[in-house]
């Protein structure tokens, strides 16, 4: 086996980044933030983006070891996307000082898909910008054996930050935050992918 060529091929290929849009609330603001973030990722040749929009996934809150055919069909739409991802960004609002039930439902239905992969966060909300939701998610993803990166994008009073055209009124801060987070995801994503190619992750 030519490990040198294999390592070079991994280094040249972009990392698959899955953007999980957590809000499924009617009238949600998430698509505006998601469109902006997708634009930032499109500028990066080191990432190939896929999107999991929980408003488009119909999963009941009741968990089962033997889901019915309808649930299996919904999981077949999302599980392969999570499995194929090298890294994740979770875009979440803050609901009552926490994150949406739709996101917890998605996390709880998967385990190995998250393991030994990095996770970044884009959060929005009122005065806190969703930071309390993110702090709770860090604990949840630690249980999934995922690595959460330190820096992210926090958008307090988010609707006031965007103009009617869907663009930031002052993009400098959010764009700098997005770059820093994506740089960290690229480092961790590459490092973990290379490590797993040498030795499978075990618990």
Would you list the domain boundaries of the chain? Answer: 3-198
Q: Which helix (H) or strand (E) holds 121?
A: strand 118-125
Work out the average pLDDT over 121-133. Answer: 96
Q: What is the pLDDT of residues 63-79, one digit of tens each?
A: 888 889 999 999 999 99
The 8 Å CB, 24+ separation contacts for 34-39 are 34/91, 35/166, 36/162, 36/166, 36/167, 36/168, 36/174, 37/89, 37/91, 37/122, 37/153, 37/178
CATH class, domain 3-198, is alpha beta
- The tens digit of pLDDT for each residue in 100-120 reads 999 999 999 999 999 999 999
> Given this model, what pLDDT does residue 10 score?
60
Contact call for residues 117 and 189 (beta carbons, < 8 A): yes
Q: What is the pTM of this model?
A: 0.92
Mean pLDDT of the chain: 94
């Amino acid at each position: 086996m030519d490990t040198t060529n294999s390592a070079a091929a991994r280094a040249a290929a972009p990392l698959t980044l899955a953007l999980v849009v957590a809000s499924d609330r009617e009238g949600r603001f998430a698509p505006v933030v998601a469109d902006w973030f997708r634009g930032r990722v499109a500028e990066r040749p080191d990432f190939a983006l896929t999107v999991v929009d929980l408003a488009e996934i119909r999963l009941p809150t009741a968990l089962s070891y033997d889901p019915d055919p309808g649930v299996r069909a919904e999981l077949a739409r999302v599980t392969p996307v999570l499995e194929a991802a090298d890294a994740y960004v979770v875009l979440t609002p803050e609901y009552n000082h926490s994150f949406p039930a739709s996101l917890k439902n998605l996390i709880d239905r998967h385990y190995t898909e998250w393991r030994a992969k990095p996770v970044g966060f884009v959060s929005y909300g009122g005065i806190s910008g969703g930071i309390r939701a993110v702090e709770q998610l860090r604990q949840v993803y630690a249980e999934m054996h995922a690595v959460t990166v330190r820096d992210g994008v926090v958008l307090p009073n988010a609707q006031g930050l965007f103009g009617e055209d869907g663009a930031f009124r002052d993009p400098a801060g959010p764009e700098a935050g997005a770059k820093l987070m994506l740089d960290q995801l690229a480092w961790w994503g590459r490092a973990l992918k290379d490590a797993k190619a040498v030795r499978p992750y075990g618990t």
